[in-house]
Chains A and B, each alone.
Chain A
Amino acid sequence: MMLEGHDESFNENPKANGEVSLGTTIMAIRFDHGVVMAADSRTTTGSFIANRVTDKIYKVTDNIYCCRSGSAADTQAISDIVKANLTVHSLELGQPPAVNTAAKVFRSMCYKYRDQLSAGIIVGGVDSTGPHVYSIPLGGSVVEQPFSIGGSGSTYIYGYCDAHYRPGMSKEECIEFAKSCVALAMSRDGSSGGLIRLAVITPDGVERQVVTGIEQ
């Protein structure tokens, strides 16, 4: 079973005792006119790294991306369905979909099939009301946040994020913040590693970046 950044305990049916730790380190931060999405690039099957250059930042629409954590198969399947759904929706609407619409569609799948899925998703994008970040953890709840971290690696950086996040950071500050958060998580979490991939979404378009090696 291909899992993005999972540790061994998942293979022993952790759902039976309620313990599922999502692999990966993913995050998204909102700044005044856009969103920075960041993720590591490790996909594991048990302790074998199946893909060390994975792209966990998936394009849902031109203006909305999502970061995927949990089961690779589950998140890929959900993302594909949501992308198809939103494509038709935006054709009918005559304009790009709103980020909260994308979050709502993701949520409806994640909640409806919560017992069969293992998917933690962060949705980020820019629409006519501005930039937005929505976190959809296991179970299918939705919460909008100024920044969101997810995956098994995120547990190691909660303190760092709380200490160093300031509202009103510029785009460049957010990019540096995202890189350092993901790098720190990758250096402590065995299920996260490889490259740091970034996507910077603004009304002018999306810029993808890659950071090789671990900084700091």
Chain B
Amino acid sequence: MAALGVGYDLAATTFSTDGRLFQVEYAGKAADNSGLVCALRVENGIVFAAEKLMHSDLLVPSWGKRIFTINDKIAIAISGLLPDARQLVTRARDEAANYKSQYGRVIPVSVLGDRLSLFMQMYTMYAAARPFGCSILLGGVTDGKPELFLIEPSGLKRGCYGMAVGKGKSKQEARNKVETLVDTLPTMDIQRGVIESAKIVLCLHDEDEDRHMELEVSALAADMDHAVFTAEQTEQITNLARGELDAEE
């Protein structure tokens, strides 16, 4: 696979002979290079769960946030190069605030998604800049209805019932697990969604490879502003999720 890219992968402005942009594809690999993050679109809201890999005991627990509030009803969970993703979070916050100021209404999630995907796409067209090395899970509620999107470094935006992004093998397994839930998601409530997404992240965490992890969970709904759960709440969720995982075995 690597040999095919020789010569055509030096700049984002070069297509390969079979019509691919290798730099953008490599950016996609960078986007998967972090702990697992999973999001589910449930009946009246969105739940996010992220695996924060704490590489050192010197780091404080609140370090390395991966879920960010854009406004009361919209949030973003990030995967890949976290500094790149924080740039996108800032951009998303600005877009949402300016839209509200200009048009007097909360930005619909899919409109914000379009703005962000156009922004990310722009960086795939110039030799002087590199693509974003991160993927974002953008979820929120618009007019009472929840919407979830995955936006990749190429700028491709896809609407999802549920999605997971992260390290190679666990990404595919996580997506398989989300697929088993797809039929139940439209009638699932927030509490159940939180437990299910936590279960997916906890179950696929590789104890041997990345020993120390922190779970970051959050939710938003038509009647609930976005909030990342506190340490105490996260512990309760972890215990409930682990309990169910143990029972399933």
Residue positions of A touching B, CB distance < 8 A: 89, 92-94, 97-98, 100-101, 103-105, 108
Contacts and interface: CB of A to CB of B under 8 A. Distances in A.
A93 to B, nearest CB: 6
A105 B98 CA distance: 12
A214 B142 CA distance: 49
B104 A92 contact: no
Interface in B94-144: 102-105, 108, 111, 114
Contacts of A104: 102-104
Interface of B: 102-105, 108, 111, 114
Nearest to A104: B104
Contacts of A101: 103-105
Which 4 A/B pairs are nearest by Cβ-Cβ distance? A104-B104, A101-B103, A100-B104, A101-B104
A125 to B, nearest CB: 13
9 contacts: A92-B111, A93-B108, A94-B108, A97-B103, A100-B105, A101-B103, A101-B104, A101-B105, A104-B104
Contacts of A98: 104-105
A108 B102 contact: yes
A17 B105 CA distance: 38
Contacts of A94: 108
Nearest to B143: A128
> Max chain B CB contacts within 10 Å: which of A97, A104, A105?
A104
A104 B103 CA distance: 6
Given A89-B103, A92-B114, A101-B105, 13 more contacts: A92-B111, A94-B108, A97-B103, A98-B104, A98-B105, A100-B104, A100-B105, A101-B103, A103-B104, A104-B102, A104-B103, A105-B103, A108-B102
Contacts of B104: 98, 100-101, 103-104
Contacts of A108: 102
Kindly name the residue among B105, B108, B111 whose own CB sees the greatest number of chain A CB atoms within 10 A: B105
A100 B111 CA distance: 19
Contacts of B114: 92
Contact of B111 (A93, A97, A103): A93
A89 B115 CA distance: 13
A83 to B, nearest CB: 14
A33 to B, nearest CB: 21
Contacts of A97: 103
A188 B108 CA distance: 49
